[in-house]
Amino acid sequence: MRKPVVLITGAGGEIGHGLIDRLAGRGDRAIVTIDISRLDETIAKKVDREVTGSILDRALLERLMAEYEIDLIFHLAALLSTRSEFTPMAAHQVNVEGTMSLLEFAQHEAESHGRPVVFIYPSSIAAYGLPDLETKQRAGRVSEDQYLHPTTMYGCNKLYCELLGTYYARHYKQLAAEAHSGRVDFRAVRFPGLISALTLPAGGTSDYAPEMIHAAARGERYGCFVRPDTQIPFMAMTDGVDALLTLAAAPRERLQRTAYNVGAFNPTAQEIRDVVVEAFPGAEIAWAVDRKRQGIVDSWPADVDDSAARRDWGFAPRYDWQRAFSEYLIPTIRQRYA
């Protein structure tokens, strides 16, 4: 008997942890996950089926298709921006070919069970590329259609996959006699840097914020790899997960775009350091600027205009800069390392 399920790829990553927790709490769908590594115990016990394998493995996806009626996909699997610069071919394989194979999977699923498949895709501020700091300062809150000239492999991958998703949603096989598009209901958010109290990122370039906080909580020294004046948008992980769930539940006719900016606060690295030192007196945080990683962060916007997300699907982060630290990050992280 085939039953409706949500499929989560890259489920063992940071977003997956928060998402599985929330979905399992609601209990209204069976949860199937794919990740190349085993899920850790805290989340493994909350899913109905854990598949350990690659999203590039066609046979594996076909087996899943035969077994389940999937009508919601959170495609989280990706190599982040710093990591992708060291292995661009692997990044392209996972980030682009992996996404393409999931989109094709979603199309076939929808054709087989006759309902659209909602495909939720976390894109990124890395999709933007501002040419220099002066432009970045002048640009302020960047809206979705500006400055789309990413300088990183990851950013190129994310931007292209937004276009691929839009293609499946609106123009797929547009010359065929019968209409094929619209079966994949593709919806993307361009996330800012995400900061989780429970997990640490691996291989990103916005990692200085979460690394600084977690290092201080563990009583470890930290060398921040960007300048004190560095500014990009961030968001508490819980709001990030909320955004994915809210977008997934939004009525389709309300959505005027396929990719939406979302943001919550945009402190400078100095402001993050100040708050961390106040919360963890004695924290040793130095500036150890990595010129090349700095260059990547400098090409990302200082802030994003997320008014389209607020208007179309009611995006409203609960945590501003003050609350994110005082009510979510600091207490949860303290407890975690206690």
Which residues, 6+ apart, have CB-to-CB distance to 246 below 8 Å?
313, 314, 315
Contact present, 4 and 67 (Cβ < 8 Å)? no
For ligand SER, the binding residues in 41-80 under the rule CB under 6 A are 80
Total binding residues toward ligand SER, as defined by CB under 6 A: 10
* Span interacting with ligand SER, options 22-30, 200-208, 249-257, 322-330, rule CB under 6 A: 200-208
The pair of three-digit structure tokens given for residue 335, joined into one six-digit string: 């407890």
156 contributes a contact to ligand SER by CB under 6 A:
no
Of residues 83 and 187, the one with the C-beta less far from ligand SER: 83
154 contributes a contact to ligand SER by CB under 6 A:
yes
205, 230, 231, 238: residue in contact with ligand SER (rule CB under 6 A):
205
193 contributes a contact to ligand SER by CB under 6 A:
yes
Contact present, 35 and 10 (Cβ < 8 Å)? yes
* Site track for ligand SER across 85-124, x = CB under 6 A: ---------------------------------------x
- 51 CB-contact burial (10 Å; exposed 0-12 / middle 13-18 / buried 19+): buried
54, 95, 206, 299: residue in contact with ligand SER (rule CB under 6 A):
206
CA dist list (Å): 179 to 108, 249, 251, 287 = 14, 25, 22, 56
CA 73 to chain centre: 13
**Stretch (H or E) spanning 331:** helix 330-337
Contact present, 238 and 273 (Cβ < 8 Å)? no
Three-class secondary structure of residue 176 per DSSP: coil
Tell me whether strands 193-195 and 234-236 are parallel, antiparallel or unpaired: parallel
9, 54, 81, 266: residue in contact with ligand SER (rule CB under 6 A):
81
* Span interacting with ligand SER, options 14-22, 61-69, 134-142, 198-206, rule CB under 6 A: 198-206
Shortest distance, position 35 Cβ to ligand SER, whole Å = 18
Chain positions contacting ligand SER, by CB under 6 A: 80-81, 124, 126, 154, 191, 193, 204-206
